[in-house]
Amino acid sequence: MKKLVITLILVLIATPAIAEERTWQESCQTTANLAEIVMTRRQEGVSIVEMVTIVKDMPIGSKERELTESILVDAYGQPKFSTEEYIEEAITDFKNEVYLECAKSMR
């Protein structure tokens, strides 16, 4: 779990610090990477309560927290699978959906 916290912090802290210098593609890639992490944890069986607690305690801005919480709610609204093939497909599909939504909103 400590690795998850560190990864989420690094993704989220890096985002606003260089947001002005980033293209929409880079920003959406960062957001999609976050979605991949969240969906992976969802498929591993980590509870949404645990994930929300982690995000709540992170030293991030309100916009980043809101984005992360939105991704959490969306990810945990998706089914949890038990076979590796479906797990990987769910993670990839969710990452792609988040990237697509980001791209639509930033272009």
Task: List pLDDT tens digits, range 37-65.
Answer: 999 999 999 999 999 998 888 888 888 88
Q: Looking at residue 18, what is its pLDDT?
A: 46
Angle among Cα 55, 52, 90 to the nearest 5 degrees reads 100
pLDDT value at 8 more than 80: no
Q: What is the DSSP letter of 1?
A: -
Query: What separation, in Å, do the N-terminal and C-terminal C-alpha atoms of the chain show?
Result: 35
Q: Whole-angstrom Cα distance, residue 38 to residue 40?
A: 5
* Count of all residues that appear for the chain in the document: 107
How many angstroms separate the Cα of 100 from the Cα of each of 71, 92, 105?
A: 13, 12, 9
Q: Is the pLDDT of residue 106 over 60?
A: yes
pLDDT-based confidence at residue 15 (cuts at 50, 70, 90): low
For the chain, the average pLDDT equals 84
| pLDDT tops 50 at residue 1 | no
In this predicted structure, what is the pLDDT of residue 13?
Answer: 46
Predicted TM-score of the model (pTM):
0.81
